[in-house]
């Protein structure tokens, strides 16, 4: 069977329905108890072989495009790009000694608290595994993903999943039904380490204990009780994120005022999330947010599948 010369894979953005954060560990990371949920916004990565006679060297070459409102200039193009790191790690693990071109079509807000970089890494692992015909198992890829970043394993898995450790230990939680979300994007990104550092200095951070996922959240999901889920959405990083970006409080308030059944900052922010009762209701909330606070909004649903191949040729 001939190997493909180009493989395109995609991976989803994540939200944390529950993000419980414990006290900083010795290695600088924080223990998490989280419920991840993949939503229908996907970055798309195409991995291909350079034409023969082209460049030498085996370092991955990255190019990026996408919606220009997405802070694309903040995405590194060199070996430090997380997609390049993913391809290099996979190549090193399997003894692959050939160059690869990675093209990232960004659709997930950059530095938005939606794990867009993690999606790029997961899509790259999936695309390069197929490009190089490695036949890695999902368990193999999950191990490599964990080395790349705390949220990368979940981007491979998708759906809804519990996350433990620093977020890298993921277990699927099958849940019935869909949920409709409004995502309010921000024009400025936020640094995840800065938000975790700020968390350490909040009263909540200072008093943090080993986190657990509350049974009420698991029950709301099992019963597909949208109103109850809205009431138990929680992000322990939110006070820290709002401390750094006080303007987000008004966005959250307006979304709730517009009837959202729940509202929270996504992960380390600054994207804000609003849960609608259904698609129509989410569209209504989005319309009000756009009108009242000129929010840059989109409506999407979850859960959706994790990283997957879109095409090969
Ligand atoms: O794992 P990842 O590279 O995404 O983490 C980025 C940064 O976020 C870490 O360097 C750390 O400062 C912070 N972080 C943390 N605890 C976690 C996950 C991330 O403190 N569980």
Q: What is the number of the ligand 1 atom nearest to the C-alpha of 150? A: 1
Average pLDDT over residues 179-204: 95
Q: What is the number of the ligand 1 atom nearest to the C-alpha of 196? A: 20
Confidence of residue 229 (pLDDT cuts 50, 70, 90): very high
Encoded tokens for 228? 């109850």
Positions annotated as catalytic residues are 14, 151
For ligand 1, atom 21, the nearest C-alpha belongs to: 166
Confidence of residue 179 (pLDDT cuts 50, 70, 90): very high
Comparing CA positions, the residue from 175, 95, 165 lying closest to residue 136 is: 95
The C-alpha atoms of residue 78 and residue 61 are separated, in whole angstroms, by 7
| 131 torsion bin: left (phi>0), alpha (psi -120 to 50), beta (else) | alpha
The C-alpha atoms of residue 312 and residue 290 are separated, in whole angstroms, by 39
Kindly give the distance from the C-alpha atom of residue 192 to the centroid of ligand 1, in angstroms, as a whole number.
7
The C-alpha atoms of residue 14 and residue 9 are separated, in whole angstroms, by 17
- Strand ranges, E, within 165-257: 169-172, 179-185, 234-235
Average pLDDT over residues 287-298: 92
For ligand 1, atom 10, the nearest C-alpha belongs to: 193
Kindly give the distance from the C-alpha atom of residue 231 to the centroid of ligand 1, in angstroms, as a whole number.
27
What pLDDT is recorded for position 54?
57
Kindly give the distance from the C-alpha atom of residue 238 to the centroid of ligand 1, in angstroms, as a whole number.
15
Q: What is the pLDDT of residues 64-107, one digit of tens each?
A: 999 877 788 888 888 899 999 999 999 999 999 999 999 999 99
Confidence of residue 207 (pLDDT cuts 50, 70, 90): very high
CB 243 within 8 A of CB 202: yes
What proportion of the chain, given as a percentage, has pLDDT over 70? 98
Cα 247 to Cα 74, 114, 251, 260, 272: the distances in Å are 22, 19, 7, 19, 11
What is the residue-averaged pLDDT of the chain? 95
**Does the pLDDT value for residue 30 go beyond 60?**
yes
For ligand 1, atom 8, the nearest C-alpha belongs to: 193
What proportion of the chain, given as a percentage, has pLDDT over 90? 88
Does ligand 1 come within 6 angstroms of the Cβ of 192? yes
CB 109 within 8 A of CB 271: yes
Q: What is the pLDDT of residues 239-285, one digit of tens each?
A: 999 999 999 999 999 999 999 999 999 999 999 999 999 999 999 99
The SS3 assignment for 194 reads helix
pTM (predicted TM-score): 0.96
């Amino acid at each position: 069977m001939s190997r493909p010369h180009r493989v395109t894979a995609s991976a989803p953005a994540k939200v944390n329905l529950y993000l419980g954060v414990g006290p900083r560990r010795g290695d600088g990371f924080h223990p998490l108890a989280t419920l991840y949920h993949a939503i229908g916004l996907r970055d798309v990565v195409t991995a291909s072989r350079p034409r023969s006679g082209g460049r030498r060297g085996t370092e991955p070459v990255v190019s990026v495009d996408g919606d220009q409102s997405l802070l694309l200039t903040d995405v590194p193009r060199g070996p430090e790009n997380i997609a390049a790191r993913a391809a290099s790690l996979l190549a090193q693990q399997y003894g692959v000694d050939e160059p690869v071109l990675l093209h990232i079509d960004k659709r997930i807000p950059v530095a938005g608290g939606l794990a867009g970089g993690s999606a790029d890494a997961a899509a790259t692992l999936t695309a390069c595994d197929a490009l190089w015909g490695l036949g890695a198992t999902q368990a193999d890829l999950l191990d490599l993903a964990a080395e790349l970043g705390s949220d990368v394993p979940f981007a491979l898995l998708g759906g809804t999943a519990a996350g433990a450790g620093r977020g890298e230990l993921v277990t699927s939680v099958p849940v019935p039904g869909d949920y409709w979300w409004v995502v309010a994007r921000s024009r400025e990104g936020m640094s995840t380490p800065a938000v975790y550092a700020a968390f350490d200095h909040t009263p909540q951070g200072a008093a943090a204990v080993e986190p657990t996922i509350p049974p009420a959240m698991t029950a709301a999901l099992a019963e597909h009780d949208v109103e109850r889920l809205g009431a138990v959405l929680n992000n322990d990083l939110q006070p820290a994120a709002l401390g750094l970006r006080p303007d987000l409080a008004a966005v959250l308030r307006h979304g709730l005022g517009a009837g959202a059944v729940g509202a929270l900052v996504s992960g380390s922010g600054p994207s804000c999330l609003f849960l609608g009762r259904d698609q129509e209701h989410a569209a209504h909330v989005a319309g009000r947010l756009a009108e009242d606070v000129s929010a840059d909004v989109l409506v999407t649903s979850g859960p959706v599948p994790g990283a997957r191949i879109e095409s090969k040729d």
